[in-house]
Amino acid sequence: MEATEELEIVIAGGGICGLATALALHRKGIRSVILERSDSLRATGAGIAILTNGWRALDELGVASRLRLTSLPVQRVWDIDLDRGKQQQAPVSIGEARCVKRRELIKALSEDLPFGTIRFGCEILSVKLDRFTSFPTLQLSNGSSIRAKVLIGCDGANSVVADFLELKQKKSFSSCSVRGFTNYPNGHGFAHEFVRIRRGNILSGRVPVDDKLVFWFIVPRFYPTDSKVSEDPELIRQFSVEAIKEFPSERIEMVSNCDLASLSLTHLRYRAPWDILLGSFRRGCVTVAGDAMHVMGPFLGQGGSAAIEDAIVLARCLTQKMQKVAQEENGRQIMVQEIGEALDKYVEERRMRLVWLSTQTYVIGSMFDASSMLGKLLLLAILAVLFSNSTHHTRYDCGRL
């Protein structure tokens, strides 16, 4: 039997959240190890919109200026309703909004990490608390095990760490989303605007990343019945073109001429707002962050930014306590207690922010799903009452690292 390796802080998953958490801790002088099941860093989803709150958080991590160099600021948002023949500019200021290539974001978050921080090919199968030490022990698929002082689950929507915390199962909207890039070698000629077009229950959005590259997505209110579609880029393209066949030709051409390698199709999932309000996000020295904690529909473009905010708050709370533990040099029990308090503070600080984000995305997603006009109107009224300023979420400031 292999001996159990002992590590201080283990982060499960090397996506946006895991990398941001490791970087935030590194900036505070704390070492961590990321266990990533893939053999390399992944960047599924082509582009990612980052709004003012996300840029604040990236500034704290010291990577925002690098990313600003390769992404254009969005100046306006347009909403076009083809059924009602209406076109309107979003009435509120969007602050700083840019679409970044996911690959660039992952690169920026990972390149300042010390060598050896990320361990690839390390799939965590299960987590349990050691009976004697109360520290988490991780069982990996390669047969080895690791004992950590702190475990942060950034392992996405199907999180093993969330299962360990016994969080309620996430739910699914009926919609899916296809995302991709289209490259225009001679320049796309579009204004630096985010343009959303809606027809029936299908939404199509496009936003330029730079002068030649456009990020686009479509959200049809259904999921392809053939499971092979999501694995085959050519089938995803055919599915997408079919879904928007009644949209303007500019959109159809954009999707037809896309970069096949950039395509992804995702069924939209969420953790219910009430499960975020009531969920127990800490057990011993284990917690979750990012999609593992609060997977949400993409309707506000906030899941990734919220994950980066989690990283900042978590690193801030942990650092304060870890420094205290180091000074006191007390026993293991004190350490478990201090780390537990740090994680509780993190959860407390994040909870209501996430409840509001998940509520807004849940109501918008439910509007997409609703088949009756009455249901849609009711949800619209809820949105108008609770979120009269629809971009208020971008003003959030997660504070200094």
Ligand X SMILES: Cc1cc2nc3c(=O)[nH]c(=O)nc-3n(C[C@H](O)[C@H](O)[C@H](O)COP(=O)(O)OP(=O)(O)OC[C@H]3O[C@@H](n4cnc5c(N)ncnc54)[C@H](O)[C@@H]3O)c2cc1C
Amino acid in the structure at residue 174: S
Encoded tokens for 300? 């506000």
Residue from 233, 304, 340, 365 that binds ligand X (CB under 6 A)? 304
User: Of 9, 5, 57, which is closest to residue 287 (Cα–Cα)?
Assistant: 9
- Cβ of residue 269: shortest distance to ligand X, in angstroms? 8
Select 210 or 341, whichever has its Cβ closest to ligand X.
210
**137 contributes a contact to ligand X by CB under 6 A:** no
Residue list 19-78, contact with ligand X (CB under 6 A): 35-38, 42, 45, 48-49
What x/- string results for residues 67 through 106 when contact with ligand X is judged by CB under 6 A?
----------------------------------------
Residue from 11, 236, 307, 401 that binds ligand X (CB under 6 A)? 307
Give whole-number Cα distances, 128 to 17, 25, 141, 147, in Å. 22, 24, 15, 10
The CA distance from 227 to 267, in Å, is 11
Select 12 or 25, whichever has its Cβ closest to ligand X.
12
318: Cβ contacts below 8 Å, ≥ 6 apart? 9, 25, 30, 150, 339, 342, 343, 346
Segments of 143-192 assigned E as strands: 145-153, 171-183
Select 104 or 291, whichever has its Cβ closest to ligand X.
291
What x/- string results for residues 140 through 159 when contact with ligand X is judged by CB under 6 A?
--------------xxx---
- Cβ of residue 15: shortest distance to ligand X, in angstroms? 2
Phi/psi for 254 (5° steps) reads -60, -45
274: Cβ contacts below 8 Å, ≥ 6 apart? none
User: Of 84, 302, 78, 94, which is closest to residue 197 (Cα–Cα)?
Assistant: 78
Residue from 9, 14, 164, 165 that binds ligand X (CB under 6 A)? 14
399: Cβ contacts below 8 Å, ≥ 6 apart? 312, 313, 316
Select 11 or 335, whichever has its Cβ closest to ligand X.
11
Q: Which span (74-82, 222-230, 299-307, 350-358) binds ligand X, by CB under 6 A?
A: 299-307
The CA distance from 139 to 141, in Å, is 7
**340 contributes a contact to ligand X by CB under 6 A:** no
- Cβ of residue 139: shortest distance to ligand X, in angstroms? 10
User: Of 327, 310, 271, 339, which is closest to residue 401 (Cα–Cα)?
Assistant: 310
Residue from 179, 198, 321, 353 that binds ligand X (CB under 6 A)? 179
**311 contributes a contact to ligand X by CB under 6 A:** no
The CA distance from 33 to 8, in Å, is 8
Residue list 267-296, contact with ligand X (CB under 6 A): 290-292
Residue pair 152/17 in contact by the 8 Å Cβ criterion? no
The CA distance from 80 to 58, in Å, is 31
Other Cβ atoms less than 10 A from the Cβ of 358: the count is 27
Three-state DSSP at 286 gives strand
- Cβ of residue 170: shortest distance to ligand X, in angstroms? 12
Select 42 or 192, whichever has its Cβ closest to ligand X.
42
Select 302 or 366, whichever has its Cβ closest to ligand X.
302
User: Of 51, 17, 73, 152, which is closest to residue 397 (Cα–Cα)?
Assistant: 51
Q: How far is CA 168 from the centre of its chain?
A: 19
Residue pair 271/296 in contact by the 8 Å Cβ criterion? yes
What x/- string results for residues 232 through 271 when contact with ligand X is judged by CB under 6 A?
----------------------------------x-----
Select 338 or 394, whichever has its Cβ closest to ligand X.
394
Count of residues interacting with ligand X (CB under 6 A): 34
Select 129 or 325, whichever has its Cβ closest to ligand X.
129
- Cβ of residue 19: shortest distance to ligand X, in angstroms? 7
Three-state DSSP at 204 gives strand
- Cβ of residue 191: shortest distance to ligand X, in angstroms? 19
Q: Which span (8-16, 64-72, 108-116, 190-198) binds ligand X, by CB under 6 A?
A: 8-16
- Cβ of residue 379: shortest distance to ligand X, in angstroms? 20
User: Given the rule CB under 6 A, which residues bind ligand X?
Assistant: 12-18, 35-38, 42, 45, 48-49, 123-124, 154-156, 160, 177, 179, 266, 290-292, 298, 301-305, 307
